Amino acid sequence: MVRNSIIWIIGFVIAITSGVTAMGAIAKNKAPELAIILSPTNGFAAEKIASNSMNTAIAGNSGHFPDNVSPNATEFARSAFIAEPITPEAIAILALGEAGNEKDKLMSEALLLSRRQPLVTAWMIADSGVREDMPALLSHYDAMLRTSSSAAVVVIPVLAKALANDDFVPPFASLLAKQPPWANQFWRAVVDTPEALGNAARLREMVYKPNENDNIYYDALLIRALVNNQQFDAAEALYYHLESQNRGSSLLKNASFTMEPEYAPIDWQLFSTGEYGAVVTDGKLQLSAIRNSGGLFVRQLVKLPAEIVTMGINPGDPIPDNAEIIVSLKCAQTIKDAPQTIRIPLKRQITNLQIDNKSSGCSFYWFDITGHASGNGDGFDVALDSISLR
């Protein structure tokens, strides 16, 4: 009887203790102040209180770690560590009260316990920035992005802007060569970061691999953004890096229309509406317009040397009389005293038409084809077999 009573009492105590511990575990995040008064002491709740206190101090210090840790935060962090020696944020807060090597050592220990604690990662990022250790800095951002689904909204734009710094290109290349899970978001962000575009092109060339999975990249958008920002040389260099085709002798890319254009406007940029348009099909550039319609059909950015170049255009069939088609070369650069636009009516095959670019002062031109179908007839369909500039 006595034995059964002892067993019953022990069981009751265990049940009460387990229940209180469970209450503490449930309350530690939503109500740590409640959890901390329950016995046994919940170390994670104490850690949460210390962390909240530190976050408040950081917020009040314009987002920077304060020079001194409040005694209240230190006390709760110490209680948390005593109760639960595996509380990384508590260790981090205790580390902030130390100096020199001891601080670094404790922070490293906290990081080893968990890479998911924002306070620890934030200090590592700040410390790497002070030391100008860019590989370490990017590594900690990588850890933050891998462990927090909500971090990307804040971190990715920061990384995109950081790429404007030339010194970040090599460490970015080392990190992105591993294709981290956030790489797709990063490449999309740099397209919308004008100050980083030039280095983004360099970085893309550095991480490029033949037969790679290019679904994570935004190469076409990056090339177009470079062109829109008049970084023409960088756009052309990236194009040739991505395209394995033989450059040939023509200054125009894809001059014989053997490939579907992918990187406009370094390659052909095709325009189309419900009334007129251009397509590349079966090795031809097809221009079509219904009656009394027309506009810009196709364009390409082309780099001309400072010399005389020769143009040739080969239509597949005779050009109809009701088709007014104009080939033009217009300087794409913003320069003083830009040369006048060259306009050439296309009525038949053109061979060896010479264009003098010796003293124009312009290197990059828009090569445009515009057209219009007259109000008489049924419109037109014109196929061009090749266009060359040499």
Q: pLDDT of 14-67, one tens digit each? A: 333 333 333 334 334 444 444 444 444 466 777 778 778 777 777 777 767 777
pTM of the entire structure? 0.76
Q: DSSP string covering 155-169, please?
A: HHHHHHHHTTSGGGH
CA angle 201, 204, 210 (to 5 degrees): 135
Q: What are the residues facing 331 on neighbouring strands?
A: 365
| DSSP E strands, 333-375 | 342-345, 350-356, 364-373
Q: Give the C-alpha separation, 133 to 136, whole Å.
A: 6
Q: What sign has the CA pseudo-torsion 67, 71, 73, 78? A: positive
Q: Under a CB-based contact definition with an 8 Å cutoff, are residues 265 and 229 in contact?
A: no
Q: What tokens does 388 get?
A: 């060359």
Q: Is 100 left (phi over 0), alpha (psi -120 to 50) or beta?
A: left
Give the N- to C-terminal CA distance of the chain in Å, as an integer. Answer: 108
Q: What confidence category does residue 76 fall into, taking pLDDT thresholds of 50, 70 and 90? A: confident
Distance of CA 108 to the CA centre of its chain: 30
Q: With a cut of 80, say whether residue 203 has pLDDT above it.
A: yes
61: amino acid identity, one letter: N
How far apart, in whole angstroms, are the C-alpha atoms of residue 317 and residue 384?
8
The residue type found at 204 is R
Beta-carbon count within 10 A of 196 CB: 23
Q: Report how far residue 55's alpha carbon sits from residue 170's, in angstroms, rounded to the nearest whole number.
A: 33
> Strands 350-356 and 364-373, how do they pair?
unpaired
Separation between Cα atoms, residue 230 and residue 193, nearest integer Å: 14
Q: Is residue 89 within a helix (H) or strand (E), and if so which, with residue range?
A: helix 88-96
Can you list the positions of beta strands (E) in 161-293? 269-270, 276-281, 284-289
Which pLDDT belongs to residue 53?
74
Residue 300: its pLDDT value, please?
98
- Name the helix (H) or strand (E) containing 330: strand 323-331
Alpha carbon 77 to its chain centroid, in Å, reads 39
Task: Identify which of 89, 49, 38 has the alpha carbon closest to the alpha carbon of residue 73.
Answer: 49
pLDDT at 362 over 60: yes
**In the structure encoding, which two tokens stand for residue 350, read together?**
């053109």
pLDDT digits (tens, 9 = 90+) for 141-173: 898 898 888 889 988 999 999 999 999 999 999
